[in-house]
Amino acid sequence: MERNNSLGEEKNTILRVKKDDDGKRLDAFLSEVFSDVSRSMHQKLIRDGMTLVNGKKQKSSYKVCVGDKIEVEFPEPKALDVEPQDIPIEIVYEDMDILIVNKPQGMVVHPAPGNLDNTLVNAILFHCKENLSSINGVIRPGIVHRIDKNTSGLLVIAKNDRAHNFLAEQFAVHSITREYEMIVFGNVDWMEMTVDKPIGRNPKDRLKMAVVKNGGKRAVTHFELIENLNGFAHLKATLETGRTHQIRVHSNYLKHPIIGDDLYGYAVKKFSKLTGQVLHARKLGFVHPSSGEYMEFNSELPEYFLDVMKKAKE
């Protein structure tokens, strides 16, 4: 798929279907391209004539063909009311300024148009009521940083704007401590490895990020071997920078993709029941916005991670 944004704004996009996408349903194809918009929303846009194939309306079931020109027009964004929901969340720490949450694998951090329910934001709105920062608006109240849907682990939530700004400054200068653990394909022959390679949009697949020669942002990940398993490796990764999919991209660059990562890795029968990458944000440290003291939080490896580690040793 090729993407042309010559129409000016992201809401108006032209796509060209390439060989890898030939034969896919129109709604499925669009859901892959715009992963933050639900399939049902794409189906509505198709019905309403806001998505055209070669200048004509088609059904959601239409099978796209190589060379098809697909024009997608999104409606003007509206102020969305995100509803609080009584969703159980694991709270590691809380005070007047911050909330530390241990996010489970499979939970989206913040809502997007067409997907406004069952996110971490819905849960923290219920828990914190009105006590969240407003800097990121109604869709992302309190959200200073995020981790991928299928990554588990620690997140800090800001309960007021002063705390949000204070924490955001630490993220900007990379003074936050962020350590992850993962299980990757293949044994490694090193104890420590630093990858200092820029990351940008993959020029061959716009759904992915990649190590790029031109136009990327500096990205630095420090890897450490915890244990080699039976054809796999248990690693720790410390982020010096925080780019989209950084650990997943750098692991793939090292030829050691993360088990369960369907975007950058590959599937094997042994782990066919996994619903996401085996990647856990285990340690988070920062200077507290009120006390000025350094605080550090740790979380235990979740059950899904331990199950994979056990299988990887067999």
Rounded to whole angstroms, how far apart are CA atoms 26 and 63?
Answer: 6
Which is it for strands 152-158 and 199-201: parallel, antiparallel or unpaired? Answer: unpaired
Going by C-alpha positions, the residue among 299, 155, 180, 149 that lies closest to residue 250 is: 180
Strands (E), 175-242: 177-185, 192-196, 199-201, 209-211, 220-228, 232-239
Which one of the listed residues 21, 68, 148, 261 is annotated catalytic?
Answer: 148
Contact 174, 219 (CB under 8 A): no
Is residue 148 part of the annotated active site? The answer reads yes
Rounded to whole angstroms, how far apart are CA atoms 267 and 248?
Answer: 15
Q: Which residue has the tokens 């085996």?
A: 278
Q: Report DSSP state, residue 258.
A: B
Going by C-alpha positions, the residue among 241, 310, 254 that lies closest to residue 278 is: 310
DSSP helix/strand/coil, 295:
strand
Burial (CB count <10 Å: 0-12, 13-18, 19+), residue 119: buried
Going by C-alpha positions, the residue among 75, 48, 53, 73 that lies closest to residue 64 is: 53
Active site residues: 148
